[in-house]
Structure 1
């Protein structure tokens, strides 16, 4: 489905405020439909899968200096359990050896932190090689590892 769940941390904006946020921040997308859920979550339904993906991968987003959590909607999505337990976070991997820049290698490395979702365009095209940037869904109730050991074969 071409929808996302949206939640503003520490705030309960009105549906009008969310619609204004969407029109200014996501003006590249056709106007989506916004549905309010009673637990202060919003389901945003896009007109195309491309618009949804562009929004998911364009973050991070803030509204009134508060983080906006955006997650893909799924049929088994549980509003009470999921939104503040797992959140997508952009991670930078500085000084990553060039032989670790394949999507398979980045996915394996990112899996040490959580569920890899997306690598940004500069990473996938290797336009900037000082660091790789990957969006990873992380369980924030668990501590992050202090380091990730990377071993590769020659």
Structure 2
């Protein structure tokens, strides 16, 4: 049977040219890139065997490493690490803090009180714990408390010399901590010698923090300015003023005119005193055997109520002591 052959396939002499075979492009099947593409059974089987061999090899390596670490610990005479040891050695900054008993200083004395577990802390231990808070002041909002943004903005406006931090204690109190004692004295003494600051129309009374702080009782310790009228000029010295101030209470600071000696009619000092006790109105200066009576004039000292333990009024007018006299 005669077939029709295209001319372009005929070689000279009528011989048919051999058609070269066209190789199909090889498709690379990546199970990771194309997870839905099935792989050949042989390839899949070989891959599984390789994976099993690799896993077994890794497992043996981990076992051998763990065993070598265990043997090394035994040779060195150290106890192999437990899970608790590993947890303690890997502290997490954003997680719970793990106690390390071996590095914690033991304080307090465990006992019982009327059948109830109790612990006693000595005065020295309490003082050491309180010192860790630095210069701390409690801000109290009697009626309503502003937002955290308002509090931060108001404290920033005061422009303290160094850093400070503050935190909420409860719904009515905040704790403000200072790096510099001058900033501490500035907030404690108040804007105009009165220990009350206003934060966006919210009055905040400032109180000295102490270890016996009680949210329901206000501290009677306050920073009050006083003037030493007619102080001898040669005593306008930091060391002399600090020594004189210690007769009155805890000395914090002097005003700029006293420090610069630009006003010599009186020296002005900020003193921390207990406002439940009347402060001295004069002191005696013995200068080389010559006694000088020094007058002390205090700024307004706020009243303190011994009945309700609050600053701002006296016991005679306290409604807590006489509820029947409370106005309607």
The correspondence for 2:235, drawn from 100, 104, 108, is 100
What secondary structure, in the 3-state scheme, does the structure 2 residue paired with 1:89 have? Answer: strand
Q: Does 1:34 align with 2:169?
A: no
- Please state if 1:113 is matched with 2:245: no
With over 3 angstroms needed to count, the CA separation of the structure-2 counterparts of 1:108 and 1:57, relative to structure 1, is same
Q: Does 1:69 pair with 2:197? A: no
Residue segments in structure 1 that go unaligned for 5+ positions in a row: none
3-state DSSP of counterpart to 1:79: coil
Q: Quick check: 2:254–2:268 contact (8 Å CA) kept in 1? A: yes
Q: 1:83–1:91: structure 2 CA closer, same or farther, 3 Å change rule?
A: farther
SS at match of 2:286: coil
Q: Distance in 1 between the 2:230 and 2:171 partners?
A: 42
Please give the secondary structure, in 1, of the residue aligned with 2:287.
coil
Q: What is the root-mean-square deviation of aligned Cα atoms in Å?
A: 3.3
2:214 aligned counterpart, secondary structure: helix
Q: Which residue of 1 aligns with 2:152?
A: 19
Q: Deviation of residue 44 (structure 1)? A: 2.2
Residues in 2 aligned to 1:152 and 1:10: alpha-carbon distance in whole angstroms: 48
Q: Distance in 2 between matches of 1:152 and 1:15?
A: 54
The structure-2 alpha-carbon separation of the partners of 1:128 and 1:5, relative to structure 1 and needing over 3 Å to count, comes to same
Cα distance change, pair 45–108 in 1 and its aligned pair in 2 (3 A): closer
1:26, 1:55 within 8 Å by CA — same for their partners in 2? no
1:63 Cα offset (Å): 1.9
**Partners in 2 of 1:94 and 1:9 — Cα distance?**
36
Distance in 2 between the 1:96 and 1:5 partners?
32
**1:117 aligned counterpart, secondary structure:** strand
**1:22 Cα deviation (Å)?**
0.7
CA distance in 2, matches of 1:104, 1:27: 25
Gaps of 5+ in 2: 1-132, 291-328
Preserved contact between residue 94 and residue 132 of structure 1 (Cα < 8 Å): yes
Query: Which one of 184, 203, 219 corresponds to residue 56 of structure 1?
Result: 184
Secondary structure of the residue aligned to 1:80 is coil
> 1:11 and 1:133 mapped to 2: Cα distance?
34
Q: How many positions carry a matched residue from both structures?
A: 146
Q: Which has the higher strand share?
A: 1
Change (3 A) 1:84 1:44: same
TM-score by length of 1: 0.70
Highest relative contact order (Cα 8 Å, sep 6+), 1 or 2?
Answer: 1
Distance 1:8 1:77 in 2: 17
Aligned position for 1:132: 267
Q: Provide the C-alpha distance between the structure 1 equivalents of 2:253 and 2:161, rounded to a whole number of angstroms.
A: 19
Instruction: Note if contact 1:89-1:138 (Cα within 8 Å) is conserved in structure 2.
Output: yes
Residue 148 of structure 1: SS of its match in structure 2? Answer: strand
Change (3 A) 1:36 1:87: same
Give 1:2 deviation, angstroms.
5.7
